[in-house]
Structure 1
Amino acid sequence: MLKIAICDDEKSQLNLLKNILSIHLDLKGLDYRIYEFESGEELINSINNENYDIIFSDIEMKNLDGIETAKNIRIHNKKSVIIFVTAYPDFVFQGYEVKAFNYILKPYTSEKIGQVLDSALEELDYIKDKFYIVELKSGTKKINLNNTLYFTSDKRKVNAVTLTGNIDFYDKLDELENNLPSFFVRIHQRYLVNINFVSSVESNSLTINDENLPISRGRYNSFMVEFAKTMLR
């Protein structure tokens, strides 16, 4: 089970962050638990009982601030991914001492939280099989993203092409892109591909599972950067 701690002395901020994280994790089909704390002291006291995979902490809190809280956590826990949430960018430089993984500036968007969370999950190598949940007329279905070659769209309809068959559902490719792991890369207005299955690239197309898909001119350079990274893994 993935264990996430969130710490903020403003209850409204705790609720907002918890809701965003819950929606994002539910879409991935992950088993998780979120622990809430309204002070750095409460979070530190809980460390003896729980090992958190990811910690989201505000920096500006009463009594013990987020930086000092993280210093105390690092005494007992070297592995947790610590993500600071702050309204003041000046605090960013104070996080090196506690090996902060990332910073999120308030006010934040759900998309930003999702992106940072995905990066943290990849850092932990937590997700072996990644899933995307879709609603069909027949009920809820989990799409195994590790086995998905690409997504293609036609207006509001999206088709997931997987190793075991195709799955049609209603969504927007732009919104889908924001909720997928980083190994899915946009190559065209209508195509979002799993870069791990790309076998070759031409000037205006690529080959994935013996099928040619078009690459738009405006997306070619950014795609090649991501494709080059796969060669270094």
Structure 2
Amino acid sequence: MKMLEIGVCDDDHLLLWEMEKYLLELGYETGVNLEVDTYADGEEIVRAVMKGKRFDIIYMDIEMQNLSGMCAAKRIREMDRAVQLVFVTSHESYMKEAFLVTPIGFLVKPLDKSEFTDMFNHILRMIGTEDQFYRFRYDRSDYKILLKEVVYFESKGRMTEIVWEGGRYRLYKNLEAIEEELRSQKMRFVRIHKSYLVNYWHISRFSADIVELMDGMCLPVSRSRRKEVEVNLYEAMDWCHV
């Protein structure tokens, strides 16, 4: 695995030091080379990203003076779709707003080292599976596309259309079979409707009856699935309850 670039942003200097210490210890224990940059406010880390700094992981305090962590994360997400964001907070009331920046999870203060470790190890597994492919046959040829580039699958009768960042394909397989195939993958897909299976990482927001994708397109959430969709979306965030 390449060296991990990690940013930690918190206006509590003691907590900033604590997270840096945990990360360096985890890097040593797991044998992962990592570099940790610390920032005392949201403006600092946003400026760093604007100047070309790229992070694999950012731990972001939500409640900060000057620029809040949520606002900083939104600005960073506009510049970098790939970074894994972890929110650190004293409250649990930010989950719905947080979908705008697709975090990988939350840590609630005061930090628990075992929860912090679990989150770090989960992110390592996610990073290690980012290059997973979906393989299929289309027009008598074999294809593979990166799962992270798949936006959604749409049922078209006995066929399913794959909508991905590079275009569209159709294959002779029903949506139920594809959903079952993807259960073993780390990349999370959520069934929002009998006709749609959506990649969580391409969802920018959701409400009771729609999910909005990063490109602004809206897809319907079926009434019978609303509660299930909400639960699955929260689970996809890997909410880390402390």
Q: TM-score, normalised by structure 2?
A: 0.52
Which residue in 2 is equivalent to 1:36? 38
Aligned counterparts of 2:19 and 2:103: Cα–Cα separation in 1: 18
Aligned counterparts of 1:35 and 1:109: Cα–Cα separation in 2: 21
Instruction: State the 1:39 CA deviation.
Output: 0.5
Structure 2: gaps (5+ residues) = 131-180, 186-242
Which residue in 1 is equivalent to 2:4? 2
Q: Which secondary structure state, in structure 1, belongs to the residue aligned with residue 94 of structure 2?
A: helix
Percent of pairs identical after alignment?
25
Which residue in 2 is equivalent to 1:89? 92
Structure 1: gaps (5+ residues) = 128-228
Q: Which amino acid aligns with 1:99?
A: T
Q: Which amino acid aligns with 2:102?
A: K
Aligned counterparts of 2:37 and 2:52: Cα–Cα separation in 1: 12
Deviations 1:153-188 (A, max 9, x none): xxxxxxxxxxxxxxxxxxxxxxxxxxxxxxxxxxxx
Q: Which amino acid aligns with 1:107?
A: P
Q: CA RMSD in A?
A: 2.2
Instruction: State the 1:93 CA deviation.
Output: 2.2
| Pair 33,99 (structure 1): closer, same or farther in 2 beyond 3 Å | same
Which residue in 2 is equivalent to 1:20? 22
Deviations 1:99-148 (A, max 9, x none): 11100011121111110011111111179xxxxxxxxxxxxxxxxxxxxx
Match of 2:60 among 36, 50, 57: 57
Asked which structure has the greater RCO (Cα within 8 Å, sep 6+), the reply is: 2
Which residue in 1 is equivalent to 2:195? none
Q: TM-score, normalised by structure 1?
A: 0.54
Ranges of 4+ aligned residues in structure 1 off by more than 6 Å: none
Structure number with larger C-alpha Rg: 1
- Alignment coverage as a number of residue pairs: 133
| Pair 93,50 (structure 1): closer, same or farther in 2 beyond 3 Å | same
Q: Which secondary structure state, in structure 2, belongs to the residue aligned with residue 33 of structure 1?
A: strand
Aligned counterparts of 2:15 and 2:31: Cα–Cα separation in 1: 24
| Pair 126,44 (structure 1): closer, same or farther in 2 beyond 3 Å | farther
Aligned counterparts of 1:113 and 1:3: Cα–Cα separation in 2: 17
